[in-house]
Chain A
Amino acid sequence: MTVARLALGLALTAVLAGGCSSDAPEAPSVAPTAIPTSEPEPEPEPESELPEDVTGEVVDVRVNDLSIVDSGLHRDGAEADVSTPPDAAAIDAAVGAATAWLDGHLTDLVGGGAGSIEADGLTGETAALTVGLTDPTRVVTHARYAFTVGARGLPEWVHVTVDLDRHDDSEASATFVFLPTAEGVHLLAARPTAETSP
């Protein structure tokens, strides 16, 4: 994008510079003659705008401690009765992977695609869920992701509440649950929550 803008800027600069040149042809001194033409050319149709990528806003990240402290499995306060500190880097990575998954999924839907749910192994009814969230006629204007991550040190599940505003002033929300994997996250389950009209 930056390179293109730079090239365009250079081109405009060159044109303007040429227009100011002393070598520019003088304006004709006689009245212009009308040149008969055929039908005026139709206005070119505006190119359909490609929908912008959806970039969700992470509005909240909470950690649900799954460590065994105070569980009664061990005597309270004993050496084994310990809380396992959450691994902040791993949690951030899981949240980042889930955010990327959701952004990609929603962007694909806005562009008329089928989204990423079937690719994660959930088929059939799940695919229909995607229709309820967004499509080319109801483009996402704002996506908010609120995360809760279950962790015993490392993240064990990632729960996301997704709230969408759409350009027709309608809204939709849904819940997604991901499992962390070595490669990122894997969609485990999804649950639509609600849809509202403008």
Chain B
Amino acid sequence: MIGWHHGPGAHARPGPLRGVAVVALVFALLGTGTAAASGGWRLPVGDGQPLTLLLLGSDMGPPRDGVVERGNADGFQLLFVSADRQHATIISIPRDAYVPVPGLGRQRINACLQRGPERCVETVEALFGLDVDGYLLTGMRAFSRAVSRFDGIEVEVPRALRVGNTHIAPGRQNLSGPEALVYARDRKSRPDGDVGRSRAQAELLATAHRQVVSDPSPQAVLHALGVLRRHSVTDLSGPELVQLGFEALRLPPANVERATVPGSYGFAGRASVLFLHDSAAALVADAAEDGRIGP
């Protein structure tokens, strides 16, 4: 075995082409069949089962004290993917959602993370009657660095946003890591507060998927997967995450739907909370069935 090089930015050497005319990209010659093709990749078709992932953002960990696996889950998104990996729905759950948290009684749902991400999984499984296949959790600084290492994320900023000293002007722009964090965190500048923030988080997820799919070169795909792997805590194994990442290449961005669980604000004691409507469970069950909302 020859010696190997080690480094976070390592790339495979490009294949040599000896100055002869390129006849065709091989994939252009390929026929049709059952395997999926996206950007020239021949991809696995999944295990034939719909997929449910819980995506969490912690308010603990750098720059704050405390560990990222504890704290409050101010980012709380359920991702449902169809069995054929052709459709997906992101259901946003505002952190103010007032629900039973196992072992903690009725709480804002974000409190589940005080007992660890596994407790958040238990919470949504009990609340909606789901089986969650895995979770991914990140923190504020990790999210910011991930976006920076992803070369930013392009969104349409509807209004001026601000958290601390970081401002974002309205308009379409490629957000840096710190700016994307503001986009994901700011609720005070949004008229719909925590609900609007939760929607914005789902928008960032869908946009990130669109950006990955837009450049399906091997280096870009593996770089994106590496960024995801390095900046999140998950109960999925590394190979499982890679498998899901490649399956995500099959998912057309236009087939990614987004919705927010319906609810009404009220008070629990002195705390302003979101009481979920009965239709929230039906919405989640619908998305869980086939990764789509509606028929």
Contacts and interface: CB of A to CB of B under 8 A. Distances in A.
A100 interface: no
Given A72-B139, A72-B141, A129-B26, A194 B40 contact: no
B26 to A, nearest CB: 3
B16 interface: yes
B119 interface: no
B65 to A, nearest CB: 8
A128 B10 contact: no
Interface stretch (B86-94, B239-247, B285-293): B239-247
Interface stretch (B106-114, B151-159, B228-236): B228-236
A124 B238 contact: no
A13 interface: no
A132 B29 contact: yes
A149 B222 CA distance: 10
Interface in A114-131: 117, 121-129, 131
Contact of B218 (A60, A62, A170, A175): A175
A96 interface: yes
Contacts of B230: 66-68, 71
B138 interface: yes
Interface stretch (B1-9, B123-131, B272-280): B1-9
Looking at B8, B11, B239, the one whose CB has the most chain A CB atoms below 10 A away is B239
A152 B230 CA distance: 9
B7 A73 contact: no
A146 B13 contact: yes
Contact of B12 (A127, A148, A154): A148
Contact of B32 (A70, A72, A124, A181): A124
A91 B41 contact: no
B21 to A, nearest CB: 6
Contacts of A180: 239
B10 A148 contact: yes
Contacts of A177: 218, 222, 242, 246
Nearest to B21: A197
A61 B34 contact: no
Given A156-B229, A194-B26, A127 B6 contact: no
Given A148-B222, A152-B229, A177-B218, A129 B42 contact: yes
A140 interface: no
Main secondary structure of the interface of A (DSSP, over half): strand
Given A66-B230, A125-B32, A156 B142 contact: no
B176 to A, nearest CB: 14
A79 to B, nearest CB: 11
B100 interface: no
Contact of A128 (B2, B33, B238): B33
Contacts of B29: 128, 131-132, 195
Interface in B136-178: 138-146
B123 to A, nearest CB: 22
A154 B239 CA distance: 10
B254 interface: no
Given A73-B68, A125-B30, A148-B12, A66 B17 contact: no
B226 interface: yes
Contacts of B139: 72-73
A8 B255 CA distance: 68
Given A73-B231, A129-B42, A193-B26, A91 B4 contact: yes
B24 interface: yes
Interface of A: 58-68, 70-76, 80, 86, 91-92, 95-96, 117, 121-129, 131-133, 144, 146-150, 152, 154, 156-157, 159-163, 170-175, 177, 179-181, 188-198
Interface of B: 1-18, 20-27, 29-35, 37, 39-44, 61-62, 67-68, 138-146, 218, 222, 225-226, 229-233, 237-239, 241-243, 246
12 contacts: A59-B2, A59-B13, A60-B4, A60-B13, A63-B6, A63-B10, A75-B62, A80-B67, A128-B33, A148-B12, A163-B15, A196-B20
